[in-house]
Amino acid sequence: MGPTQPERWVRERLGHSPRDPALFVSALTHRSAGGAHNERLEFLGDAALNFLIAHQLYRAFPAADEGDLSRLRARLVSREPLAEIAAAHDMRAVLHLGAGELKSGGFRRQSILADALEALLGALYLDAGLAGLEPVVERLFGPRIAALPEPASLKDAKTRLQEYLQSRGLALPRYTVLAIAGEDHAQRFTVSCEAAPLRLSGRGEGSSRRRAEQGAAAAVLAQLGAGVDG
């Protein structure tokens, strides 16, 4: 008997020859299809992937602190990038979905693609251990790690402003809600940010107080000039 379609896909796309092909069939099976599906493998793959990406980032960014590394990792292991990697390797062709998911286009859904990729990595961990999984993760994610921006650029405006002030021994900024407009389900917040020691202030608007505060902090940073990293 020749290899199954999922087994061939794993060999061609991941460069791994399964010792237990059934693991990979399960990894590519959505719960809507019934039988052995990929949720448990997804749980395992998520943990293994987070560890290996953390290790790779730790080596690639020796000057980055814990917060920087966490922000960088979030760029790599969130739903969108995982789904993009799965789609780039044509995982849709080997996904096994139930009739309802097939009819609704589930093979294009980011959540399904991302979960299946994590499940595949979980299957690969069980089949080959970390030693077998690590080079696959490096191959899949290496180009994305190489293209990551400098860690400081990932900090949000409030964090960058706070760090800028703290590094100079200055008082933290004060945020004040100036106005709340609109119905409960579609409110707009206007917030001011005052950096008194710098004699600077800015305003921001957004659909939540947090977003408005970020906009106000960004307005103050803009007055300080580009390139304020904290």
Q: Are residues 64 and 39 in the same domain?
A: yes
Q: Tell me the CATH number at 201.
A: 3.30.160.20
Query: Which ranges in 79-192 belong to alpha helices (H)?
Result: 79-88, 99-103, 110-146, 157-167
In a domain, 229, yes or no: no
d(CA 77, CA 178) in angstroms, rounded, equals: 37
The first and second tokens of residue 188, run together, are: 């707009």
Residues 85, 14 contacting (CB under 8 angstroms): no
In a domain, 230, yes or no: no
pLDDT for 5: 83
In a domain, 136, yes or no: yes
Residue 200, domain extent = 155-224
Q: Are residues 110 and 131 in the same domain?
A: yes
1 pLDDT more than 70? no
Report how many domains make up the chain. Answer: 2
* Listed residue (142, 167, 147) closest to 224, CA to CA: 167
Q: Are residues 26 and 80 in the same domain?
A: yes
Q: Are residues 49 and 69 in the same domain?
A: yes
109 CB-contact burial (10 Å; exposed 0-12 / middle 13-18 / buried 19+) = middle
Q: What share of the chain is helix, strand, coil (3-state, %, to 5)?
A: 65, 10, 25
Q: Are residues 178 and 96 in the same domain?
A: no
- Cα Rg of the chain, angstroms: 23
The first and second tokens of residue 134, run together, are: 């690590």
In a domain, 106, yes or no: yes
- Annotated catalytic residues are 46, 118
Q: Tell me the CATH number at 55.
A: 1.10.1520.10
pTM exceeding 0.95: no
pLDDT tens digits, one per residue of 52-83: 999 999 999 998 889 889 989 998 999 999 99
Q: Are residues 134 and 61 in the same domain?
A: yes
Q: Are residues 120 and 196 in the same domain?
A: no
Residues 124, 16 contacting (CB under 8 angstroms): yes
pLDDT tens digits, one per residue of 13-42: 999 999 999 999 999 999 898 888 999 999
